[in-house]
C-alpha cells in the first residue's frame, strides 16, 4: 500500500500500548510503521538542574533505542515494516514535522499515564498535535474500553 502510520513513543506503558494499536492498524491496512521518539531538550536541561545534560541525553537516547527495539519486535511479529525517526526539540512540533516528512496518513499517540493519577488525560504535547495536525490523530488509552 505505501501508506505510513506514525506512532510517537517514549519508554512508558501508555506509549507501548499506543504502539501495539499502531502495529495492529498497520498490519490490517498493509501500511508501513514509522516510530518517532523526541528528546525534549528543555526537559533534559530541567532534569539536570541546568548543568551539563550529557548524561541526561545519553539516558534519553538509550530509552529511545529501547522503545524502538520493543516496537520493532512487535512489528516483526506482525509482519509490519518498521522504521525509526529520532528527533530533538519541542515534542509536538517534532512529531508533526516527522509526520510531514514521511507523508504519514495517521498519527498515533498515547493518553498520558501518570503514576498516582486516577485517570489518564490528554497531555499538552498531544493537545498540540491534535490542534495542528493536517492528518487524522488517534489517541490511545492505556486500557482498552468496555
* Helix (H), strand (E) at residue 73: helix 54-78
Opening angle at CA 110, ends 50 and 10, nearest 5: 40
With a cut of 70, which residues of the chain have pLDDT below it? Answer: 1, 42-53, 113-120, 144-146
- CA separation for the pair 40, 60 (Å, rounded): 9
Architecture of domain 4-101+108-140: 3-Layer(aba) Sandwich (3.40)
Digit-coded pLDDT (tens) for 96-138: 999 999 999 999 999 986 666 666 678 899 999 999 999 999 9
Provide long-range contacts, Cβ within 8 A and 24+ apart, for 123-126. Answer: 124/92, 125/91, 125/92, 125/95, 126/92
Instruction: Give this prediction's pTM.
Output: 0.87
What pLDDT does residue 143 have? 75
Neighbour-count burial for 116-129, b at 16+ CB within 10 Å, e otherwise = eeeebeebebbebb
Domain boundaries along the sequence of the chain: 4-101+108-140
Amino acid at each position: 500500500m505505501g501508506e505510513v502510520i506514525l506512532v510517537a513513543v517514549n519508554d512508558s506503558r501508555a506509549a507501548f500500548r499506543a504502539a501495539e494499536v499502531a502495529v495492529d492498524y498497520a498490519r490490517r491496512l498493509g501500511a508501513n510503521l514509522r516510530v518517532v521518539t523526541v528528546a525534549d531538550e528543555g526537559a533534559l536541561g530541567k532534569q539536570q538542574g541546568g548543568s551539563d545534560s550529557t548524561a541526561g541525553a545519553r539516558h534519553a537516547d538509550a530509552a529511545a533505542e529501547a522503545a524502538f527495539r520493543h516496537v520493532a519486535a512487535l512489528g516483526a511479529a506482525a509482519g509490519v515494516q518498521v522504521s525509526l525517526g529520532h528527533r530533538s526539540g519541542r515534542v509536538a512540533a517534532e512529531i508533526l514535522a516527522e509526520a510531514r516528512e514521511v507523508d504519514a496518513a495517521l498519527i498515533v499517540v498515547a493518553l498520558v499515564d501518570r503514576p498516582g493519577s486516577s485517570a489518564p488525560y490528554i497531555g499538552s504535547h498531544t493537545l498540540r498535535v491534535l490542534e495542528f495536525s493536517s492528518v487524522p490523530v488517534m489517541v490511545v488509552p492505556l486500557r482498552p474500553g468496555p
